[in-house]
Structure 1
Amino acid sequence: MFFIQMSGFPGSGKSTLSRRIAKITGAIIIDHDISKSSILKSIGDSNLELKVLGMTSYNMDWALIEFYLSQSYDVIFDSPCFYPEMIERGSSLSKKYNAKYKYVECYLNDYQEISKRLQNRERMISQISDTSEEVFKNNVNESKRPNHIQCLRVDSSQPIEKYLKNVLNYIDEE
C-alpha cells in the first residue's frame, strides 16, 4: 500500500500524472481542487475568508485520505505542497497505516508554459487561471519537501510518457 503526496505549482501536471498513476495502479485520488471547488459551489456568493476555505477543504481532504488508508487503499493526494504540516501529516498517516510514503514533485520552471497551461485548461472554480511571474517564481521555490525520504522530481515540461515509468518504479521501491 502507498500514499503519494503530489507537489508542484498549479498547471505543472500534478492532476494529469495523478490520473495516469491511478489508472495503472487503481489508487484513489484525493484532489484538493475538487473539495475546495465543492465548498465554493455550496456557499455561493458568501464571502468565506480564503484561510477558512483552505483549512476546511484541507481538513476534508485529510479525513478522506485517512479513511481510505485505513481501508488499505493506495492513495494519491493531488495538491500543491506549500506547507510543512502537509509533509508531517502525510508521513504520519503513512506510518499509522503502514503505507509507503512517496513524494512526487511535478517541476516546470517555465513561466510562459505555466501561463499557457493555466489559460488553456478546463478550470474548476477554485483553480487559478493566471499568475504573475513573481508569484510563480516564489511558489516554485517555496515547495516543501520531506527530508526523511528520497523524493522524486519529474520534469513535467516533457511528455508524460518520458517520466511515467520512472514514477511507477519509484512508487514500487521499498
Structure 2
Amino acid sequence: MFFLQMSGFPGSGKSTLAHMLARRTGAVIVDHDVVKSALMEFMEVQTMDAKTAGKISYGVDWSLIDFHLSLGHAVIFDSPCLYAEMLGNGMRLAEKYNVKYKYVECYLNDFQKINERLKNRSRKTSQIQEVLSEKVFSVAVDSSEKPLNVEHLVIDSGKPLSSYIDEVLEYILE
C-alpha cells in the first residue's frame, strides 16, 4: 500500500497521471480541485475568498486522506505541493498507517503548452484558465516543495503519458 503525493503546476498533467495510476492500481484519488470547487460552489465563494476556500479544502483533503488510509486503501493526493507543511502532513500519515510514502512531480516548464492545456481543459470552478505572466509562471513552476530525505520522481509531463507511466508505476509499487 502507498500514499502518493502529486506535485506540479496547474496544467502539468497531474490529474491525467493520477487517473491512470488509480485505474492501474485501484488507489483512491483525493483531488484538491474537486474539494475546493465543491466548497466554492456550495458556499457561493467569490474570487477574493478563494484563498480561504483553499485553506479549508486542504483540511478536508487531509481528513479524506486519513480516512481512506485508515480503511487500508492506497491513496493518490492530486494537488500542487507548494508548502512544506504539505510534505510533513503526507509523510506523517504514511508513517501513521505504515504505508510507503511516494512523491511524483509532473514538471512542464513550457509557458505556451501549459496555457494551451489550461484553456482547452474542462475547467472546475477553482481552477485557473490561463497564466497571464510568463515571469510569474517561471517562478511558480519551480516552486514545488520536494522531500529532502525521500526518494522522489520528477517526470517530464510534456511527453506522452505512455512514455513515463511504467516508470511511475514501478516507482510507486517498489
TM-score, length basis structure 2: 0.96
Deviation at 1:46, TM superposition (A): 5.3
Q: Partners of 1:114 and 1:49 in 2: how far apart?
A: 25
CA displacement 1:120-168 (0-9 Å, x = unmatched): 1010010000112122111111110001111101110000000000000
Q: Is the 8 A contact 2:13 2:157 kept in 1?
A: yes
Residues 3 and 75 of structure 2 are in contact (CA less than 8 Å); yes or no, is this contact kept in structure 1? yes
Instruction: Give 1:23's aligned residue.
Output: 23
Q: What's the counterpart of residue 49 of structure 2?
A: 49
Report the equivalent of 2:73. Answer: 73
What count of residue pairs does the alignment treat as equivalent?
Answer: 173
Alpha-carbon distance in structure 1 between the residues aligned to 2:43 and 2:3:
31
Partner deviation per Cα, 1:81-129 (whole Å, 9 max, x = no partner): 0000000000000000001000000000100100100011010010000
1:96-115 maps to which residues of 2 (within 5 A)? 96-115=96-115
User: What is the match of residue 94 of structure 2?
Assistant: 94
Aligned-partner Cα distance in 2 for 1:41–1:133? 30
Where in structure 2 are there 5+ consecutive unaligned residues?
A: none
Any idea what SS the aligned residue of 2:141 has? helix
Structure 1 runs, 4 residues or longer, greater than 2 Å off: 45-51
Instruction: State the superposition RMSD in angstroms.
Output: 1.1
5+ unaligned residues in a row in structure 1: which ranges?
Answer: none
TM-score (norm 1): 0.96
Distance apart, 1:43 and its partner CA: 1.4
Task: Say whether the 8 Å CA contact 2:155–2:164 is kept in structure 1.
Answer: yes
